[in-house]
Structure 1
């Protein structure tokens, strides 16, 4: 994957807040000139742009024009949705504000009998108030990569609990090799969700109407991140951050938390000396997990022909399974959004293991109803706990109150 905006965007709360009102269907074929406009952000992998243009050209029922959007796609899309009927179709993550302000249309009727074949967690990530607003395009996830040879040399078993992870990171910190790399912030950005899930908690409560971490177990889980910082086994100040495999590929660490997209580079560097794990559980009452996210195809409610746009989305992201498979697998290591396709795309070695992690323990990385302000409050609290040793219970009480207030506004 290249630098800049790419499929890893699902890992951050994008903050795309819809502003304008709902549109109408005039009955015209797509936009005013009869063309459907389909927007993508600029993927970092070579070949993606050519592929999506080829898909559009193959659509038999309308002319489809693909617009590739380098730079700040989020802001450009926000402005476009506010101001008009273009794009008719676009990729993004569903935001509750768009739904509340009727800027996107429901897409439940597109799935038919294929619904159960889509990875359940992905559909949940595109659902607000029980209704689907985006058709997932591909799956990205993160896992814990490790070098079996280095663990064996240190007498360390692959960690399946947080205590084991803390212990392993410290014991593997030998001979100029650190135990674990989870980002130059020490894991605050990418491990907050997995730490919650490890304790059986989440960003949101089960009903989605409040914070899901108003529980003493959250403080316990985040205390383990502090223990990782204190144990001396974390690599900080690496040349590249967690999303790049450089630290692991170059032998700077025995374990790295990073993305599925890096699997080809990692196996090219280390061959069969690569293992993968989900994020460990806190204890028997918690759960192993991996974050799951995806861009989805969505339809602008102000499109000149909503039904034509929906028909195109159904054709491309529900019916054309060969395109879905190519989009996910031909330009880097990603998974198709449908379970039947995902199981065929990575069918051996660490890739097969990762497919199993996604289907058994995939968790929504950025829930549609999780507000950006709440995310900032929680991330700041976790940073102070992990990096400064701040009181976990006190920090989380403040974050809970902020999250409760922000969620209540929606």
Structure 2
């Protein structure tokens, strides 16, 4: 197979192929938008692969999964998507398998736990793109001013937040349950209460007693006591919460490595601990992986594979991880990061990745369930709401979606 042969299906009829890449934006604004990274990779790839052009579109995390879903539904799927879920597209036979696209050396270099998470029915469809683990971040300056130590339990969170409020902190505990990434915030809290999205055998268990108790605690002990700041959690997106943290307006929040970098640039001294649980630190952390996938619709299998092999070179993987303080998904890049003292602040996150708890990515229903969580979970902590009723509603939709797989 050659580029020219596959190029017969190109839109311009000139023998060249244009790959359409849709990706998520990890940046916080125009200065560090991911569009710059992908444009740079595209230029280098095009130079090394004459006859293949790459058209890059970048959307916010709030919009990117929905944008791709609408493209696919309209019969205008991108060639490559870098988004949050893949299993529903794999189940619908819209994606190439890894074996159909990438070189063996590329596929065998992914971290094993992430490879497993990217499989549907034993075949790898979702190529891990970047990963992170999550910790509780706190503003050391605000904590010192209030005479506080690092929180270890939920009781500590509540009492520390009350002390921070008394000392005039705008957001004692920022709780972003808006639609941007509330499925992540939710899972962190569920794990801290001994629950999660699924049970021991992998079935959805979103309305378990442990999960209900966790959200009752959030509603009563944080939101109900006025400890989450002036913006209701349902209206607070992660980006707004992170921005407030970098401005010194937040005492505590759940964060990932990118926030550490941005806060330190603004002179915020950051403390980090595992998310406190009921009796002590949460055992194990939440891990997040985002995914690359190749769509079949335009028939550009060979060209997609060439681009993905290029994108997963160590220099590109590490460049993206460096820019956003995230974790590489390949063994070779992970080893390079471990050996580099410049990345010492990330070593704690990196060590937690192999045993972290990820979303149930392999479920074809996960994209739908994730959207349901984003839309509804913020209402679970509103004054007068019933956390149990909201979780039961989400769980019912999840089980219905799962039964349709």
Structure 2 Cα separation of the partners of residues 387 and 378 of structure 1:
15
The yes-or-no answer on 1:256 pairing with 2:244 is: no
Kept in 2: contact 1:199–1:285 (CA 8 A): no
The yes-or-no answer on 1:41 pairing with 2:30 is: no
The yes-or-no answer on 1:156 pairing with 2:156 is: no
State how many pairs are aligned.
379
The one-character-per-residue Cα deviations of 1:39-85 (angstroms, maximum 9, x if unpaired) are 1337452531431223322445x632111225665566446545769
Deviation at 1:336, TM superposition (A): 1.9
Kept in 1: contact 2:132–2:289 (CA 8 A): yes
Relative to structure 1, the CA distance from residue 108 to residue 217 in structure 2 (aligned partners, 3 Å threshold; closer, same or farther) is farther
Relative to structure 1, the CA distance from residue 305 to residue 42 in structure 2 (aligned partners, 3 Å threshold; closer, same or farther) is closer
Write out aligned runs for 1:23-42 (5 A): 28-30=5-7, 31-32=9-10, 33-35=15-17, 37-41=19-23
The yes-or-no answer on 1:103 pairing with 2:94 is: yes
Structure 1 Cα separation of the partners of residues 194 and 122 of structure 2:
23
Q: Which residue of 2 aligns with 1:247?
A: 244
Q: Which residue of 2 aligns with 1:235?
A: 229
Relative to structure 1, the CA distance from residue 293 to residue 386 in structure 2 (aligned partners, 3 Å threshold; closer, same or farther) is same
Relative to structure 1, the CA distance from residue 328 to residue 58 in structure 2 (aligned partners, 3 Å threshold; closer, same or farther) is farther
Structure 2 Cα separation of the partners of residues 149 and 124 of structure 1:
41
In structure 2, runs of 5+ residues without a counterpart are: none
In structure 1, runs of 5+ residues without a counterpart are: 1-24
Q: TM-score, normalised by structure 1?
A: 0.76
Kept in 2: contact 1:38–1:87 (CA 8 A): yes
Determine helix, strand or coil for the equivalent of 1:270: coil
Structure 1 Cα separation of the partners of residues 24 and 386 of structure 2:
42
Kept in 1: contact 2:177–2:378 (CA 8 A): no
Deviation at 1:408, TM superposition (A): 0.9
Kept in 2: contact 1:154–1:171 (CA 8 A): yes
The yes-or-no answer on 1:54 pairing with 2:43 is: yes
Deviation at 1:266, TM superposition (A): 0.6
Relative to structure 1, the CA distance from residue 184 to residue 294 in structure 2 (aligned partners, 3 Å threshold; closer, same or farther) is closer
RMSD of aligned residue pairs (Cα, Å): 3.8
Deviation at 1:292, TM superposition (A): 0.9
Give 1 or 2: higher helix fraction. Answer: 2
Structure 2 Cα separation of the partners of residues 89 and 246 of structure 1:
30
Kept in 1: contact 2:65–2:84 (CA 8 A): no
Structure 2 Cα separation of the partners of residues 301 and 265 of structure 1:
38
